[in-house]
Amino acid sequence: MNLFTDGFHQAIELLVSGNASVYSAISTTLTVSSWSLMISLLLGLPLGFALGYYQFPGKTIVRTMVDTLLALPTVVIGLIAYTMLSQAGPFGDFDLLFSQKAIIIGQIVLALPIIIALTASQVESVDKRLYTSLKGLGAHSHQILVSTLVEARFGIMTAAMTAYGRIITEIGISMMVGGNIKYHTRTVTTAIALETGKGEFITGIALGLVLFTVALIVNIALSMLKRRWTQ
């Protein structure tokens, strides 16, 4: 019990004292996770709509592959990203390895199947009469896309929250392609792994509480936005 109480007190001290290392890790975490989520939504929403709305040969296979990717371990994604971005890989010339951009790329791969799968499910659950009405009014494909996403906005918000929760708490990708470089690519999760590996459990718990607080604030903000939409 002392570990948790001491960790809580140290978490407060780290935040109040303006610890540069802690705030750098928080900043890096928020930066890469926010970019990852935004890009994943831009790519995943249209793809999820297409998967849920259109009928095409092999749709069942594609849907099965997307659902399978939901359970892909982060260390596997990190390994694949490392192989692709290393000097021996096909994208080695871009010199992205051990950078925040590399972490963002890996986290997009992590979040994209979540956005696609949940969006497709929401599109499939939309009242079919909406599509009939839109087509009867002569709506174009992009207008049907926008109208459907607006109709399914609450489910899409849930998809975004789920994806962000997975992104902000992952460690395998950030560790393998980010390199856990202090003041550059070190995130809160990799800092926790580093501190606990050194036996600094109280510091690890403190950082864990910081991560929990950040995740809580983000989810509260998204919940408030969702509630405002329902009014």
Write the secondary structure of 73-129 as one string of H (helix), E (strand) and C (coil): CHHHHHHHHHHHHCCCCCCHHHCCCCCHHHHHHHHHHHHHHHHHHHHHHHHHHCCHH
CA atoms within 13 A on the CB side of 16: 6
Q: Which residues of 155-176 are buried (b: 16+ CB within 10 A; e: fewer)?
A: bbbebbbbbbbbbbbbbbbbbb
Distance CA 6, CA 14 (A): 12
Separation CA 158–CA 160 (nearest Å): 5
Q: What is the pLDDT of residue 42?
A: 94
Number of domains in the chain: 1
Task: Decide: 121 and 155 in contact? Cβ < 8 Å.
Answer: yes
pLDDT at 83: 94
- Full domain range(s) for residue 18: 2-230
Amino acid at position 122, single letter: Q
- pLDDT by residue for the chain (231 residues), tens only, comes to 577 787 778 778 877 888 888 889 989 999 999 999 999 999 999 999 889 888 889 999 999 999 999 988 999 999 999 999 998 889 989 999 999 999 999 999 999 999 999 999 888 887 777 767 777 777 777 787 778 877 777 788 888 888 998 999 899 999 999 999 999 999 999 999 998 888 888 788 888 888 888 788 877 877 777 777 666
Residue 30: CATH number of its domain: 1.10.3720.10
